Amino acid sequence: MNDALEQKIAAARTRLILDKPFLGVLVLRLPMVEAKPQWCTTTATDTKNLYYNPHYLDALGTRQVEFVLAHEALHCALSHFSRRGHRDKRRWDLACDFAINPVLLAEGLRPPPNAITFVEYAGMTAEEIYPLLQDNDNTESMDQHLDELANPPASNPANTSTNDGASQGLTENSAESGMRPPPLTPSEREQLDKQWQHQRVVAAQRAAQAGKLTGALANQVDALLHPKLSWRVLLAHHMVARAREDYDYTRPARREGEAILPRLHSRQIDVAIVLDTSGSISEAEILEFLGEVAALKAQVRARVTLFACDTEIAPGAPWEFEAWEELKLPDQLPRGGGTRFTAPFAWYAQRPMTPDLLVYFTDALGQFPALEPNFPVLWLVKGKAPVPFGMRLQLN
């Protein structure tokens, strides 16, 4: 590293510590390693080091270097390396970049020329952005995410620590020579995940004490420090709660005494399921959602009335399924058209019965009823659009 570049990096880190303490603390926890241009054209991280191409950083201004350093540190602090699961790596890397870049722009940092930002993804997590990306998206990530996982030999699990030590030695040698580091072992990834969990708590505490943890960055950090339950857990909670909310005041047997006390009992419930078929929800997502409902239906003895709706209720709908019947889609489900959420509520307004719970699966982009219905509504929403009434659950 030449003196000018060294001074530029030092100035960028110092400015982050003073102006953006959350980002600055994280950047200081990530050692910088000069990488060979043959494998690192911009920057990269394996969550242990920040690898950089000196020619790339040399061409950037100090403010742009701040952005690049904070970008790599946030990948680590937000545990992107351990949250990918079985998702496609290329799409996941793009989703992570699209989640981070708007946050850094909102913090006032200046992006380098190769940083791509879509305003429609602002405020969304990588998990929420990922299903919105196409498999054939040719957009290039601004950096390299070295989160590949090395599988230690299954035939000798007792040598896990030995393998990890060897991997650590290879990493140190790679860092000294500027070569691409080897993949992480499972135990390394687990250990690094715990370390970065601790680092983001420390960084958040310092930034909060300085009064400089606000906006989109605070929301991203809060989502990890206080993780929310998945939509599956919340949907199950609401259906079970509706099934067990009735009390029985019948007189008990003599051996139970004379007092008449309320007793909680389960009953069959009527659940309305509305599928938004305007085209914003894929068939795979609809099938996944219905599979979850079907699993819960038998457990809580739920009778399901199934609607398909875009601007109007689909021909032949609704379809009714008793608690013991298989929940399935009709052979032909109309797709496309606009979105208006009024039709299912108008259908119930013309009838004497109301559901115990209505679950609407949608992107929440359309016309809502002017008045809130007199029964509970659960909106399972793909995307970030708000709803005017009822409870909103985030799909992604």
* Domain spans of the chain, in order of start: 3-225, 231-394
Query: CA of 256: how far to CAs of 16, 247, 266, 342, 386, in Å?
Result: 70, 17, 20, 50, 50
Tokens 């809060």 sit at which residue?
A: 222
Distance from C-alpha of 130 to C-alpha of 381, rounded to nearest angstrom:
15
End-to-end CA distance of the chain: 43
Distance from C-alpha of 247 to C-alpha of 313, rounded to nearest angstrom:
35
Distance from C-alpha of 40 to C-alpha of 62, rounded to nearest angstrom:
20
* Among candidate residues 202, 198, 206, the one with its CA nearest the CA of residue 17: 206
* Among candidate residues 313, 395, 321, 315, the one with its CA nearest the CA of residue 362: 395
3-state secondary structure of 87: coil
Q: Under a CB-based contact definition with an 8 Å cutoff, are residues 93 and 75 in contact?
A: no
* Among candidate residues 300, 249, 251, 250, the one with its CA nearest the CA of residue 271: 300
Distance from C-alpha of 1 to C-alpha of 13, rounded to nearest angstrom:
16
Distance from C-alpha of 361 to C-alpha of 54, rounded to nearest angstrom:
49
Q: Which residues pair with 304 in a beta bridge?
A: 271, 321
Q: Which residues pair with 302 in a beta bridge?
A: 269
Token digits for 328?
């399935």
Q: What is the pLDDT of residue 153?
A: 42
3-state secondary structure of 13: helix
* Residue type, position 377, single letter: V
Q: Under a CB-based contact definition with an 8 Å cutoff, are residues 181 and 171 in contact?
A: yes
Into which CATH architecture does domain 231-394 fall?
3-Layer(aba) Sandwich (3.40)
Q: Under a CB-based contact definition with an 8 Å cutoff, are residues 85 and 134 in contact?
A: no
Distance from C-alpha of 216 to C-alpha of 222, rounded to nearest angstrom:
10
Distance from C-alpha of 304 to C-alpha of 174, rounded to nearest angstrom:
59
Q: Which residues pair with 378 in a beta bridge?
A: 359, 391
* Among candidate residues 293, 287, 282, 262, the one with its CA nearest the CA of residue 357: 293
Distance from C-alpha of 261 to C-alpha of 264, rounded to nearest angstrom:
10
Query: CA of 376: how far to CAs of 197, 239, 260, 290, 318, in Å?
Result: 38, 11, 30, 19, 19
Q: What is the pLDDT of residue 164?
A: 41
Q: What is the pLDDT along the chain (396 residues), one digit of tens a residue?
A: 688 999 999 999 999 999 999 899 999 999 999 999 999 999 999 999 999 999 999 999 999 999 999 999 999 988 898 888 888 899 999 999 999 999 899 889 999 999 988 888 888 888 888 888 887 778 888 999 998 776 544 444 433 333 343 334 334 455 556 789 999 888 898 899 889 888 887 888 777 777 777 666 776 666 655 555 567 777 777 777 776 544 444 555 555 555 555 544 446 889 999 999 887 778 888 888 888 888 778 777 889 999 999 999 999 999 999 988 888 888 777 776 778 999 999 999 999 999 999 999 998 999 999 999 999 999 988 888 889 998 888 876
* Residue type, position 171, single letter: T
Q: Under a CB-based contact definition with an 8 Å cutoff, are residues 39 and 180 in contact?
A: yes
Q: Whole-prediction pTM value?
A: 0.57
Distance from C-alpha of 136 to C-alpha of 85, rounded to nearest angstrom:
20
